[in-house]
Amino acid sequence: NAGVTQTPKFRILKIGQSMTLQCTQDMNHNYMYWYRQDPGMGLKLIYYSVGAGITDKGEVPNGYNVSRSTTEDFPLRLELAAPSQTSVYFCASSIEGQPNEKLFFGSGTQLSVL
Amino acid sequence: AQSVTQLGSHVSVSEGALVLLRCNYSSSVPPYLFWYVQYPNQGLQLLLKYTSAATLVKGINGFEAEFKKSETSFHLTKPSAHMSDAAEYFCAVRGAAGNKLTFGGGTRVLVKP
């Protein structure tokens, strides 16, 4: 099993450009999440999904969009990149989102907006 | 609402010394508590979790954590640090009725030879 796979690993964007961060998992997990990690701030939830066709906002959704057309894929879209979106982005998944479940994380995408 | 506070963004320990990472939480419901570890250039991995079965929880790589309700704490310890323990450690809390984790700011551990 590959687990949770994120692409690309690194990306530099110019202000105003758009891009999609890809995330796919092969564990048949229903729940998927997008987090951003900023130094000293821990991880902040951007969006999450409880199943194909269902998405919801997390703590910091502004400037981002997501879709969930399949169980496996959960792409994150940045429409107009801003310097404040410079961060490390992690995708994660879990089976059913139960309180005691662990999350499986991808290896992250380091994004710089200049 | 729930929150997590990790005291100390950086901790430096000598190889063989005790590792102690502090985590305090707030939660309006009995919490589920987790410690995750992030090695350089990798995603987070679960170290251990508390789910009310026992207050002392043992995890991987010799780590353990003790849930103290009266102190709203879930500190992580390891008796003897190894060079491979150099990483960033995150405490996280999830309320029983919710399905979203709230993370602390993280503590980066440096192990000196």
Residue range A49-101, pLDDT digits in tens? 999 999 999 999 999 999 999 999 999 999 999 999 999 999 999 987 677 78
pLDDT for position B65: 97
3-state secondary structure (DSSP) of residue A11: strand
Give buried/exposed letters for B13-38 (b at 16+ CB in 10 A, else e): beeeeebebbbbbebeeebbbbbbbb
Between chains, do A42 and B51 touch, taking CB under 8 Å as contact?
Answer: no
- To the nearest whole number, what is the mean pLDDT of chain A? 93
Q: Which residues of A touch B103 (CB under 8 A)?
A: 35, 42-44
Q: Are B64 and B56 in contact (CB under 8 A)?
A: yes
- The C-alpha atoms of residue B89 and residue B97 are separated, in whole angstroms, by 25
User: What is the percent of chain B with per-residue pLDDT over 90, rounded to a whole number?
Assistant: 71
pLDDT for position A108: 93
Distances (CA, A) of B64 to A7, A100, B80: 34, 17, 12
- Indicate whether B98 pLDDT > 90: no
Closest C-alpha among A52, A64, A34 to residue B100: A34
The residue behind tokens 């954590």 is B65
Residue B44's DSSP bridge partners are B38
In angstroms, what separates the C-alpha of A29 from chain B's closest C-alpha? Answer: 14
Asked, as a colleague might, if the bond just before A8 is cis with ω within 30 of 0, I would say yes
Least confident of A64-68, A83-87, B34-38, B39-43: B39-43
- The C-alpha atoms of residue A68 and residue B72 are separated, in whole angstroms, by 37
Q: Which of B9, B43, B103 sits opposite A106 (nearest CB)?
A: B43
- Indicate whether A40 pLDDT > 90: no
Give buried/exposed letters for A37-46 (b at 16+ CB in 10 A, else e): beeeebbbbb
Q: Are B73 and B6 in contact (CB under 8 A)?
A: no
Least confident of A39-48, B23-32, B97-106: B97-106
Least confident of A66-70, B25-29, B79-83: B25-29
Q: Which residues of B touch A50 (CB under 8 A)?
A: 99
Q: Tell me what the mean pLDDT of segment B86-108 comes to.
A: 85
- Indicate whether B53 pLDDT > 80: no
In angstroms, what separates the C-alpha of B27 from chain A's closest C-alpha? Answer: 13
Q: Tell me what the mean pLDDT of segment A7-19 comes to.
A: 96
pLDDT for position A2: 81
Q: Given pLDDT bands bounded at 50, 70 and 90, which one contains residue B99?
A: low
Q: Given pLDDT bands bounded at 50, 70 and 90, which one contains residue A7?
A: very high
pLDDT for position B96: 61
Pair type for strands A31-38 and A87-94? antiparallel
Q: By CB neighbour count within 10 A (0-12 exposed, 13-18 middle, 19+ buried), where does B85 fall?
A: buried
Residue A98, both tokens: 């139960």
In angstroms, what separates the C-alpha of A7 from chain B's closest C-alpha? Answer: 13
- Indicate whether B28 pLDDT > 90: no
Between chains, do A100 and B105 touch, taking CB under 8 Å as contact?
Answer: no
Within an 8 Å CB–CB cutoff, is residue A107 touching chain B?
A: yes
pLDDT for position B97: 55
